[in-house]
Amino acid sequence: MQNAKNGGRWEMPLSQKQNGFVRGAGRKINTRNLMGNEIHLQVGVKVLLKSKSEKFLLLHRSTEKYPEVKGRWDIVGGRIEPGKTLFENLAREVREETGLELTGKPKLVAAQDILRVAGKHVVRLTYLGEGEGDVKLDTTENDRFEWFSYEELSKLDDVDIYLKELLDGNFL
């Protein structure tokens, strides 16, 4: 995907805009909706990592870095970098946050609108995948991690609202 940088913001070339929908993705994409209003689109990728022992990895978000966030337990992930594939971005996030290596091909399980306000739209793509290695937690964003069984996940309090939505809807 090729983006043109304009005024410090990423813009989607006209050739990749179709009827208000954007093909491809970037950290910040300026496009227009059907009403002609400019929208900044951001895409995030997340993955629920499953171990060989059928446990799932959750990270506990740091209260220091994210004091306003409710739902401290979340899955690995973050915003994508322009010019990289979704899987490259997902593997990078897994490596940066946990030190694990993503193995196999993760399965896309959901696309969620996590923020839609005037002029801004954030989309989260959630995958189910596997990782190997030993967790080496990046403590700049998270203060601990834990492996949970699926049953434990479904009963866990203080979970990210978008993860909870997927768990409650049996998407994972």
Closest to 129 (Cα-Cα) out of 36, 63, 68, 48: 48
Where is pLDDT greater, at 22 or 30? 30
Q: Is the pTM of this model over 0.85?
A: no
Cα dist from 3 to 13, 15, 46, 62, 93, whole Å = 6, 11, 23, 33, 22
Q: Which domain holds residue 43?
A: 4-168
Binning pLDDT at 50, 70 and 90, where does residue 82 land?
confident
CATH code (residue 121): 3.90.79.10
Binning pLDDT at 50, 70 and 90, where does residue 23 land?
very low
Closest to 99 (Cα-Cα) out of 144, 132, 135: 135
For the CA atoms of the chain, what is the radius of gyration?
17
**pLDDT tens track for 160-172:** 999 999 998 888 7
Report d(CA 49, CA 91) in Å as an integer: 11
Q: In which region does residue 20 sit, left (phi positive, over 0), alpha (psi from -120 to 50) or beta (all else)?
A: left
Which residues are CB-contacts of 73 (< 8 A; sequence separation ≥ 6)? 58, 59, 60, 61, 156, 158, 159, 160, 163
Taking residue 168's Cβ as centre, other Cβ atoms within 10 Å add up to 10
**pLDDT tens track for 31-48:** 555 556 677 888 999 999
Binning pLDDT at 50, 70 and 90, where does residue 15 land?
very low
- Looking at the structure of the chain, the number of domains it has is 1
